[in-house]
Structure 1
Amino acid sequence: MKWEGDRESSNVEDQRGGGGGGGGGFNIGGRGIGLGTVAIALVASIFFGVDPGTVIGMLGGGGGPAPQVQQQRDPSAPQANDRETRFVRTVLGYTEDAWGPIFKAQGATYQPPKLVLFEGRTQTACGTGNAATGPFYCPGDQKVYIDLSFFRLMQERFHVGGEFAQAYVIAHEVGHHVQKLIGVSDKVHNAQSRASETEGNALSVRLELQADCFAGVWANHTQQKEAFLEQGDVESALATATAIGDDTLQRQSRGTVVPDSFTHGSSAQRVRWFKQGMESGDPQQCNTFEARQL
């Protein structure tokens, strides 16, 4: 993926502490928890709706995670300029440059989200975010939150990686922001409040698949403008979509697949909708809510 030297977004808030590696620490009964345990908690929290603290407690043999004090970055300190941070700022800039014209063509103005970099734990309008939940979008403050250790977990736990795969993850979360701006997410959440668990899960799947499709739309428009893709990039994103499908994750974690419990869609569905967006470049082709077959 060719990105170095391209415009970097100014909408990144760096809340990381001054030193140490990313990801923060999880303490159970006075002893540390390895990345493998955190990765399992990540899977449970993102895809099965299980509190990651509960999972870590069970696997670590103790109670919930010990409280942590998040060291906030001094706002007056120089902005981090390592390759990983510059990459995130550039990808966010790509999303702004893609969605701005798309909204303008519809007579609307795109309001980009803030992207927050944090380590370990951080306070959000949606509650306390932590590394175990992976990247997420909070509609309450319209911010995307990322602990960059997640990208290392992608490689170690799911054996997928590469910069375009990471960009796909960011673009997917920005896709949720687009859904917030156009009113889709609010309608879905209101419908879920009146629905059964199975019906609510089905709505969640359609919401997530649309975000995957929007990520594909972003890739299409960015490729046209920046020609940033290199050989193997698309395959790495498709491999990531496959690895995080509900059926793949359930088969790995419990040995069986329960479609009614899906919240993000199967591997095939995630791949299909990302490709739909990337091949068409048209957000109108991402209406998962009216699709008869996902």
Structure 2
Amino acid sequence: MALVCYVKSLRISTVSDERWLTAWHIPLTFIQDFTNNSSLKRRWLSDTYEPVVYTDVVDKPDRWIICNHKAFGYYRVDYDEINWDLIQNQLQTNHTQIHVLNRAKLIDDAFNLAVKYQGYIPTSLNMTYKRALDLTAYLKKELDWLPWETAYRNFEKLQNLLLGTEAGALLNSHIQSLALHLYDLYSFNEDPLDKHLDLLLRTIVVKIACGTNFAPCVKEVKKIFDWKKIWYGEDESYVDYGKRFSRITPNLKSAIICTGMKHFGTAHHFHFLIGRYLSTNVATERGHILSGLTCTNDILLLRR
């Protein structure tokens, strides 16, 4: 059985004159066992445009091989169907056997190669959106931030492309099913002892849950976004809206504003947020507000 990986290095020049076309020697790494450094093989991709075959980097022909150890190199990697299947099976059975940096890189490579495959220039022999999405099925067990951050960025691109379509609804259901275990772990409740990566992962989880209309997430936002409780006092007397707005944790502010405007936002909320945008000098908060305001379903508000 042959295991094949295809290295996709962008060697592009904006100059048409062949004298200025440049190629480089690129370091390549191959590994079949992350617990055994002796299985790490190092080779060079020569400065030619011809395919290079290495027959001495596979120790176990029946086991997956990962190219670009710990995502050290700046290039895409594609595999033959056999190796993609072996990698997918490993992720499903025990994803920790593949280093977290490579788990993230596999997801990113898969989605980017799938995009090219579907376009006018087919740069992947074996990658499709179906295979890329199948590869993410293991995320139901993933607890590390980096693979989730990578998956979220690529999911978001597909969601924007499929917005309002039946395929988009199916994609949202798939994404939501992958993140439910994390929503149970994180939800909206920040802990003072949370590590930085925990805070980042919670942000992604809430964005996915609310962005795919997960009912408990939307319900939680409704509590936060309630006009009387947040923007006015409990007795409906006017209070300092700036202080109440500031109570929303910065890490979740964008997701909360977006979900709130999408499901419960009124002209009052919109104008309050515009006022907040104009009154703050904090660039990140201005970004959160602008991003959230675009989620409103009231087109007339956006045209004002």
| TM-score calculated relative to the size of structure 2 | 0.27
Structure 1 length-normalised TM:
0.28
Structure with the greater relative contact order (CA < 8 A, sep ≥ 6): 1 or 2?
1
Structure with greater helix share of residues: 2
Structure having the higher Rg: 2
